[in-house]
Amino acid sequence: MSAETITSSEYIKHHLTNLTFGRHADGHWGLAHSAEEIQEMGFMAIHVDTMFWSLFLGTLFVFLFSRAAKNATAGVPSGMQNFVEWIVDFINDSVRGSFSGKNDLVAPLALTIFVWIFLMNLMDLVPVDVIPSLARMMGIHYMKVVATTDPNATFGMAIGIFILTLYYSIKIKGIGGFLGELTLQPFESKNPLLKLLFIPINFLLEFVSLIAKPISLSLRLFGNMYAGEMIFILIAIMYSAGIGMGLFAGGLQFVWAVFHILIITLQAFIFMTLTIVYMDMAHNEH
């Protein structure tokens, strides 16, 4: 979509709108072609572009790492094998430093989270008009390529981690131990009456803390990536303001892209680290 044929506001809205599939007001199912149709579809609509790019990049991750594992040799390693071994060693060191329990799932989970989120974030470095323009040539009206700018994706991953945390909290500590953590701390007393009084207060504090984990985990990733994508879109608008502004925008885009490499890596690392920490908390009894 060209920024020269529409207003800046319309350009921004277009690039921040997901390709949505759902039920239209007249009852038939299909893709939405406007913001109004997306709103009519309601909660049960599916963001097709988020699903496609997240699954595509997840499949790419599995393919590359499984191929590197199959072609691994004891001799001189290839560049791909070196790269994969470096990432695996980095993840193992992170797990050893933050996870004190014993669970063979944690390291593969951390590896999957880090690489998958990094690949989804990396799509932010693709020029904002390239893929949407190609999609429009094929009759696809909307196309957001950065899945982590969609709160549905970040909340989905965070809720998955939250469910695993609850599962292992109950499995390791039992239902009584888990409920005890929610009701018998941080305020304690040997007096039975005070202990009963502290139970609802402790539950309120611990429940808020528990629910805040998936919310903060998802919103942190979404907020940072959404802001980064917005800056790229605003820079892209500058190209339509003349040659001088276009040259300035090119330099600005390069500087922001270099800086953004740190952001996309850091956000993947933070999500992975917090996942390890939450799993460690689920395995430790208080």
CB atoms within 10 A of CB 206: 16
- At 21, which helix (H) or strand (E)? strand 20-23
Nearest-10 Cα torsion for 106, 112, 114, 118: -170
Answer yes or no: 224 catalytic.
yes
Selecting among 216, 218, 240, 284, the annotated active-site residue is 216
Active site residue 121: no
* 144 C-beta neighbours (distance < 10 Å), count: 24
Select from 141, 115, 155 the least CA-distant residue to 49: 141
Peptide bond into 132 cis (omega under 30): no
Which residue from 67, 52, 60 is spatially nearest to 119, judged by alpha carbons?
60
- In angstroms, how far is the first alpha carbon of the chain from the final one? 56
Active site residue 284: no
From the list 8, 103, 220, 240, the catalytic residue is: 220
Assess contact for 130 and 270: CB atoms under 8 A. no
Decide: 155 and 43 in contact? Cβ < 8 Å: no
H-state helical runs in 123-242: 130-137, 151-183, 192-238
Q: Which token pair is 108?
A: 């593969």
| Packed helices 106-122 and 48-70: angle between N→C axes, nearest 10 degrees | 120
Out of 54, 121, 202, 224, pick the active-site residue. Answer: 224
Cα separation, 110 vs 55, whole angstroms: 18
Biggest alpha carbon distance in the chain?
A: 77
Question: 57 — alpha (psi -120 to 50), left (phi > 0) or beta?
Answer: alpha
Indicate which residues carry an active-site annotation. 216, 220, 224
